[in-house]
Copies of this chain bind each other. A is one copy, B any other.
Amino acid sequence: TEVALAPHEASFDRAKLDDLLKRRFFFEPSFAIYGPQTGLYDFGPMGAALKANLVQEWRKHFILEDQMLEVDCSCLTPEPVLKASGHLERFSDWMVKDVKSGDCFRADHLIKNSIEKLLADKKTSADLKSELQEVLARLEGFNDKDMKEVIAKYQFKSPITGNDVSEPVAFNLMFPTQIGPNGEEKAFLRPETAQGIFVNFKRLLEFNQSKLPFAAAQIGLGFRNEISPRQGLIRVREFTMCEIEYFVDPKDKSHPKFKKIARYPLTLFPAFSQSNGQPASEWRIGDAVAQGVVNSEALAYYLVRCQQFLVKVGVDPRRLRFRQHLPNEMAHYAQDCWDAEILTSYGWGECVGNADRACYDLRQHYKATGVKLIAEKPLPTPKSVEVIEAKRNMGIIGSQFKEHAKKIQDALRKLTPEQLIEVETELAANKLYNLKINDEMFPLTDTMITTKKYSKAVHVEEIEPSVIEPSYGIGRIMNAVLEHAFREREGDESRCFLALPPLIAPIKCSVLTITKNPMFESIVGLVEEELKKYEISYKVDETSTSLGKRYARTDEIGIPFGVTIDFESEQKPHTVTLSWINQTEKIDISTEPADATAMRILN
């Protein structure tokens, strides 16, 4: 129904686009000569250039514009990091298995597809349909028990064999491996780039001269072992993502540039509209913040920047909306979350997540390592506070506990003030404190540890930064951009083309000679030199095919500019024809200020 409301461009011939993308080698399944690999794609020259341009524009739009701190961290991630972040325990999908064939399905996909089949079936009663529609609406918030019940109640089967399916089991989506020659260290491929930023928070804060707020960003690969990859670039096992972490004082989530964008209009689909069955609608972002629909200025700022970026790289704004997560979709610690959803032939799909994750991530890594991941804010006036400290005698601890001493030292270092008060109480009462590490007990006497309380003047307040996380999936955006740029030529449906913004076009300029003729070679060379000087990608086509056909070939891969060399070009001054969209212009390549021409092509 949402798709039905969308502009008519949304329906188009996906097969024709797929054919174009395959034929001109934008991308295709990896290792295809070995039998295609699901969920992995190789990008050919056109796809690789398009992707590189998207990423480069992202870097310019976000990192350069807002002076973000870019980092480039490891994909290989040791288990303890992902245990702390919660991925080890919770980064999984519910999976059901065909009890006979062993085929695996994502439980929610199986339910969704089964319901959709029933809804499309004329024999399904109206009562059942409305019941199923209700299930569908609640599906996003289902846990395993809910799904098990639904599968049992409606007797959903394997769509391939018709066999029964198992109960939903959690399947962790991270790819496991081991680091080191002994295989001793369990590790995973990172499922997102964000953790690399969090673990480096302290260094980044220092780099920013200890001041909040600041944004860090990372462009890199993420890996997810999807149960059933599908929909081309939408759900894949290896993908490029661009993530920002904006670290901000939780008590002051204003944004210095908010005023500049407050009147910017966005299509918002707030949680309350979704619950009430109302459609998405246009809001000025300033109003959305004022009315508490969007939780903070900072989050709102990133929504606007997101829209600006997506439209700049070619997403149709009429097929773009920001959908707020429903309360049951959000993690318990999240304050607010808005997905940029883009309408494509696969329906409305999330391409960018924009989440206020509060202080969850930094706190988790602090807990796991004992390294304080906090910022400090100067107090207007110093204040006096009570502090409690442990004094450890590592000599005695060492001689008593030998190989455990290091572990004990680590544990003592991580004791919280509350725990230290407990230590003090127990030592006072029993002259003994039983330190528990995992399942072992270490009795510490007051010769090994003592506590000391005193008051201290503090000049700064410690704050646990909140983090706002915009997270971009480049493959999904690329899919949307390609769909939205796809055109069929009226009256000649066999000739399709891509109307890509020049900014991201894989090749910026074609160089064509009016006929195949060796006398043009030196002029082609001159044009090539100029284009290289300005780092403008180009493609020379001097074949004897007709000029019209050669232009059609360049249209098909979205080359926005063309230089044509004809017999006039031979004469001095050398002139060539520069054409773009529906314009053409004669340029004298020997005298024309090349800068001006280049800037026209590049911007």
Contacts and interface: CB of A to CB of B under 8 A. Distances in A.
Interface string A29-71: 0111110010111111101110110000001100011010111
Contacts of A243: none
A175 to B, nearest CB: 5
A267 interface: no
Nearest to A56: B56
Interface in A172-218: 175-182, 189, 196, 199-200, 202-204, 206-207, 209
Interface stretch (A275-283, A290-298, A344-352, A364-372): A364-372
Interface string A311-325: 000000000000000
Contacts of A32: 199-200
B69 A33 contact: no
A222 to B, nearest CB: 11
A199 B43 CA distance: 12
A265 interface: no
Contacts of A74: 30-31, 37, 40-42, 238
Contacts of A373: 33
Contacts of A287: none
Contact of A64 (B25, B67, B532, B599): B532
A206 B22 CA distance: 12
Given A31-B81, A104-B182, A182-B104, A42 B200 contact: yes
Contact of A202 (B33, B67, B78, B179): B33
Contact of A532 (B37, B65, B95, B189): B65
A contacts with B: majority SS? mixed
A60 B535 contact: yes
A530 interface: no
A72 interface: yes
A41 B51 CA distance: 25
Contacts of A537: 64
A77 interface: yes
Nearest to A187: B175
A78 B369 CA distance: 36
A70 B49 contact: yes
Contacts of A78: 31, 34, 37
A264 interface: no
A463 interface: no
B200 A64 contact: no
Contact of A176 (B59, B64, B70, B177): B177
A210 to B, nearest CB: 12
Interface in A69-119: 69-78, 80-81, 95, 102, 104
Contact of A70 (B48, B177, B535): B48
A44 B203 contact: yes
A472 interface: no
Contacts of A225: 179-181
Given A42-B196, A48-B70, A77 B180 contact: no
Contacts of A258: none
A205 B59 CA distance: 32
A595 interface: yes
Contacts of A177: 175-177, 189
Interface in A202-257: 202-204, 206-207, 209, 221, 223, 225, 227-228, 237-238
Given A177-B176, A181-B104, A227-B181, A34 B368 contact: yes
Contact of A200 (B44, B104, B223): B44
A171 interface: yes
Interface in A510-559: 532, 535, 537, 539-540, 543
Nearest to A208: B45
Contacts of A469: none
Contacts of A203: 25, 28, 44
Among A74, A104, A199, chain B packs the most CB atoms within 10 A around the CB of: A74
A33 B71 contact: no
Interface in A301-346: none
A426 B258 CA distance: 82
Given A42-B196, A45-B204, 10 more contacts: A30-B73, A31-B81, A32-B199, A40-B74, A41-B74, A48-B70, A67-B539, A175-B178, A179-B225, A595-B599
